[in-house]
Amino acid sequence: MTARRIRIRGQVQGVGFRPFVWQLAQRFGLTGEVRNDAEGVLILAAGPDLDAFEAALLAEAPPLSRIDALESEATTLDATAFIIAASGAKGAETRVTPDAATCAACADEIRAPGRRQGYAFTNCTHCGPRFTILTGLPYDRAQTTMAPFTLCAECRAEYENPADRRFHAQPVACPACGPRLWIEPEAPDPIAEAARRLLAGDILAVKGLGGFHLACDATNPRAIDTLRQRKHRPAKPFALMAPLSLIRRHAALSPGAEALLTDPAAPIVLLPARGTLPDSLAPGQSTLGWMLPYTPLHHLLLDAVQRPLVMTSGNLSGEPQVIDNDEARAKLGPFADAFVMHDRAIARRLDDSVERADPPMILRRARGRVPGTLPLPDGFADRQVVAYGGQMKAAICLVKNRQALLGHHLGELDEALTWQAFLQADADYAALFDHAPEAVATDLHPDYRATRHGTERARRDGLRGIPVQHHHAHLAACLGENLWPRDGGAVAGIILDGTGLGSDGTLWGGEILLGDYDGFQRHAHLTPGPLIGGDRAAREPWRNALVRLDAAGQGPRAERLFPDAPLAMARMAAERGLNAPLSSSAGRLFDAVAAILGLCPQAQSYEGEAAMRLEALASAAQDDGHPGYPFGPGLDAVPLITALCDDLDASTPAPQIARRFHRGLARAFAAQATALVEGGQARAVALSGGCYQNPLLLAETRAAIPSAIPVLTQRITPANDGGLALGQALIALAALESG
């Protein structure tokens, strides 16, 4: 018989890979062994049909595994059986698996008679907590927050049996030996009491995998309003949780959306609403964010309630999610009427991921997706760098072994606790993945906290510091996700977002860049306008509307639209350049158009509210074939504003105006990018920046680019600043290799 040494690399530890190999070996009549080691999984196998065995390894791998490489070579072997051998050296070359939603077998088990019936912490090799309980490597029970819970004899037997689906499942537990659930105020049956309170209109704080949620009955307008009042959250959409059968009643569900909902990552998925639930769940929006129950506790709670639940992050406004029981009592006490608690500690806070299925995109990359890695494009050497992202939607990226680990969503770094979470994540990832960078990449903006941190680390540790222009990083992130080769040639990048410091010292945000990982040229941009009041312009849309209306000779209209705003003072600031920096921001143009149409003109209650309402308004309009509002030379917005005002005077419905704005913006930028490709200066078009989380703008842009031209978009990393660090890391790698 022939024998082979088979190396499996990828996400193959902690996912049931060794028992899977053992079972395959029994099926194929093989002898040998399988073990974990520092590089992944190593198999020594002898038998009659090793080709078929290797094919089955790839085709039938466990659901949570991801095989990046299978390397095979002939060897000699003297074995009489196939065994699971003791693990060899362990280290950070292997992967840590993201947390995974409760599998079907465990979901059935908690509902059926048996020792785990009704047990809120049931899991197996194919599901359950991973990254949120991990405290160090190697990944075993002693290095997780399950360490205090000693396995009982029955759980130990499952853990040690390679034929059992709980073989080496580190969080395995049962009521006799595992974590305990309770409710405060105390009641004999926590689930029954929680359900009673929810149905009575109470707000509950519920401890989950990556932190606490605030929950209420999503069919009860009074409960929703109470939660909004207590949390001082007047309009930001609430996330919802329900079983698939209930989601189908309240949302339009495509095959792609259903597949995404049922993915082991169990993200929040934005779905078109059917209008069957209170409007107060997401004021002014046409979609609702839904997720399936992803822990046994969630399944039990929803079984008892039989209604969809609001499941929004348990935090004070602007702060990260609460993870500790005492912290929850102190901070969530003003919001919650009761607490559903347990005694398994959360090692790191992780928000729920937020995604779309149609078209596919990740808006917030968090629980269930991290710490998954991304392969690097061809042409990059195996070197280590760290990138620290931006100020908003902060995330860290580490590169090692030609893989990029884009960390979890952290939030706005101006908030003190979010900054602490950033520092913890930096130390956390470095330790978990034994990371020793030779370079540190940061945003060009010197005042971002992440930039200051990265610059200081480079100085302190003697590393090369590499500042990266914000929109160049967006472009590189899009290229990297699409595995655009290092020598693939220049692309035309349409980068539309809020603001980022440009290489000329002004604030950019509506850009066409011609470039690649090694550099870029600013080919075109929106005509800049002053941001009156600086950061206040991002919070108060009337300021941006005033600037655009005045530029178009529509000043009297501003007087009528915003009679209570301090227009004279604002105009004086703009004229004199007092705290009114120039910006080409597409995001602020969205705000201006929204304000002109009466959408939250005085103030946005959350980031992006005006643009999201404008998108929802436009999506409600029938396509009347209008070509979209025109732009002038140099992407001047004056003709657009003039045409929009003409439509207002003609009593054109607001949804049509909103749609014409989207189409005009998309076509103006697409025409410029298309010309670069057709002129031979670029080989493809890349779309990135937070504005491209708008599916209508994305669709209109793609439709305006000839089908023969490749269009690169981001699907598995955020197009917003949550993906910025990936682009920074790739640009830093290119800089290192260029000297």
Distance of CA 126 to the CA centre of its chain: 22
694 belongs to the catalytic site: no
Which among 4, 9, 36, 344 is annotated as catalytic?
Answer: 36
H/E segment holding residue 480:
helix 470-481
Amino acid in position 237: P
Burial class (CB in 10 A: 0-12, 13-18, 19+), 590: buried
Burial class (CB in 10 A: 0-12, 13-18, 19+), 32: buried
| CA torsion through residues 245, 246, 249, 251, sign | negative
| Cα–Cα distance, 58 to 8 (Å, whole number) | 10
Largest Cα span, the chain: 91
Task: For residue 320, count other CB atoms closer than 10 A to its CB.
Answer: 22
H/E segment holding residue 573:
helix 567-576
Backbone angles phi, psi at 109, to 5 degrees: -65, -40
State the alpha helices, DSSP H only, in 112-204.
153-160, 190-199
Residue 575 makes CB contacts below 8 A (sequence gap 6+) with: none
H/E segment holding residue 268:
strand 268-272
Bridging pattern class, strands 491-501 and 685-688: parallel
Q: Is 287 in contact with 247 (CB distance < 8 Å)?
A: no
Total residues found in the chain within this entry: 739
9 belongs to the catalytic site: no
Q: Is 284 in contact with 260 (CB distance < 8 Å)?
A: no
Q: What is the CA radius of gyration of the chain?
A: 27
Per-residue three-class SS string for 281-327 = HCCCCCEEEEECCCCHHHHHHHHHHCCCEEEEECCCCCCCCCCCHHH
Which among 4, 5, 7, 18 is annotated as catalytic?
Answer: 18
Q: Is 665 in contact with 634 (CB distance < 8 Å)?
A: no
Amino acid in position 144: T
Per-residue three-class SS string for 678-737 = HCCCCCCEEEECHHHHCHHHHHHHHHHCCCCCCEECCCCCCCCHHHHHHHHHHHHHHHHH
Bridging pattern class, strands 239-241 and 82-84: unpaired
| Cα–Cα distance, 424 to 426 (Å, whole number) | 5
Residue recorded with tokens 């005042």: 447
Q: 423: which 2 tokens?
A: 């520092």
Residue 384 makes CB contacts below 8 A (sequence gap 6+) with: 398, 399, 400, 435, 436, 437, 438
| Cα–Cα distance, 29 to 81 (Å, whole number) | 9
The closest of 472, 510, 513, 492 to 710, measured between CA atoms, is 492
| Cα–Cα distance, 412 to 608 (Å, whole number) | 14
| CA torsion through residues 697, 700, 706, 708, sign | positive
| Cα–Cα distance, 518 to 476 (Å, whole number) | 9
The closest of 668, 664, 662, 665 to 615, measured between CA atoms, is 662
If you write DSSP's letter for every residue of 392-430 in order, what string do you get?
A: SSB--EEEETTEEEE----B-TTSHHHHHHHHHHHHHHH
Backbone angles phi, psi at 38, to 5 degrees: -65, -15
> Active-site residue numbers?
18, 36
